[in-house]
Amino acid sequence: MAEQSTKKYRDIYVSVNGVTLTGIVQSLEPVKGIVIFAHGLSSSRFSPINRHVANLLTDAGVASVLIDLLTPGERALSKQRGYDANIQLIASRLVCTIEWITHDEALGKFPIGIFGTNMSAAAALAAATERTDCISALALSNAKPELIKNYLQRVKAPTLLISGDKDRAQLQWNRDAIEALDTKHRLEIISGTTHDSHNPKVLEQIAAHTQQWFLQQFLHKQQ
C-alpha cells in the first residue's frame, strides 16, 4: 500500500520596506500550483472563508499561501487612507509576496494564482496586471464592481468570478464584467443567496468552484 502524504506547514516572513509580513504555507505532495490569498481590511490569514478554501485547495495538491498583507496598525488607519489607497497598498504587498515566492527554492517552480474576496478582489486584479508574467489564474468572490472595474480590461490571467443570484444588481454587474474581460473567464452563480460567505453551504460552493478553477488552469499551464 502506498504511503499517504501528510500536510506540511511552513511559517514565512516577507520583508517590505521595513515591514515584515507574516504568513504560512500549507501544502500536500505532489504540489500542482500555489494560490496566494489576498487578505483585505476585514480578513486575515485566520478568516473562516480563506481557511476553508485553503484547506480544500491543499487537499487537492494546491499549496496555499495565507499571509497578512497589512499590519494591525495599518488596518486601524485604513479609513483614513480610503479605498483606492488601501487597494494599492494591498496590491503592492501582493506583488512583493509574488516576488518572494518566485525566488523561493521550494515554491518558485510552480504556477501561481490569487484568490480574493470583496475589496481584496480589486487588489488581486491590480497585482495580476502588474505581474502578468507570474500569475496563471485568478478567482474572485463577491467582488465589488465600483472597485475592480478599472482593472478588468488589463488583466491577462484566466479569471473566475463567483456571485450569488439574489442580489440582482451584483449579478448583472458580474455578467457585464465577464464581457469586459479580454482573457479566459468564467462566471459561477450560487443560487438562492446574496452571497453570504459565512453560510456553510455557500462556503462549500465557493471552495469547490475555486478548487476546480485553479486545478484546471494549473494543469493547462503545465501542459
**How does residue 1 score in pLDDT terms, banded at 50, 70 and 90?**
very low
* pLDDT score, position 195: 57
- Annotation: CATH topology of 8-222: Rossmann fold (3.40.50)
Q: What is the pLDDT of residues 122-177, one digit of tens each?
A: 899 999 999 999 999 999 988 877 777 788 888 999 999 998 888 788 888 888 88
Q: Where do the structural domains in the chain lie, given as residue ranges?
A: 8-222
Biggest CA-to-CA distance, the chain: 58
pLDDT bracket for residue 114 (50, 70, 90): very high
Query: Which residue in 120, 139, 123, 141 sits closest to 196, CA to CA?
Result: 141
Q: How many angstroms from the chain centroid is the CA of residue 158?
A: 13
Q: Indicate whether 15 pLDDT > 90.
A: yes
| All three cell numbers of 179 | 464581457
Average pLDDT, the chain: 87
Evaluate if residue 178 carries a pLDDT over 90: no
Say if pTM beats, i.e. exceeds, 0.85: yes
Nearest to 164 by CA among 122, 206, 125, 123: 206
Across 53-72, average pLDDT: 92
